[in-house]
Structure 1
């Protein structure tokens, strides 16, 4: 459940940054995950952390 919350938060961050819909933000997260060869929750947590740091 925690992973889903992080992914949803990351989608929200990408929606604001890219001015897109949540449906358009999902492929960005998947691409980050695939290129880094990590589970989706890890790059999602990175996106959220970078937004918090500003």
Structure 2
């Protein structure tokens, strides 16, 4: 999250709460395990999808 003044720390896990396709990109609403909620902007933000239960 290169432009966020208070980014989610690298390695933090979360649960996708919503996906909102845009033209050429997506917003993904995430409830992070550290108690925060913050939307991702894909492709700008770098994330890794894990299988459920990990």
The normalised TM-score by structure 2 is 0.28
**Which is strand-richer, 1 or 2?**
2
Greater C-alpha Rg: 2
The normalised TM-score by structure 1 is 0.28
**Which is helix-richer, 1 or 2?**
1
Structure with larger RCO (C-alpha < 8 A, sep 6+): 1
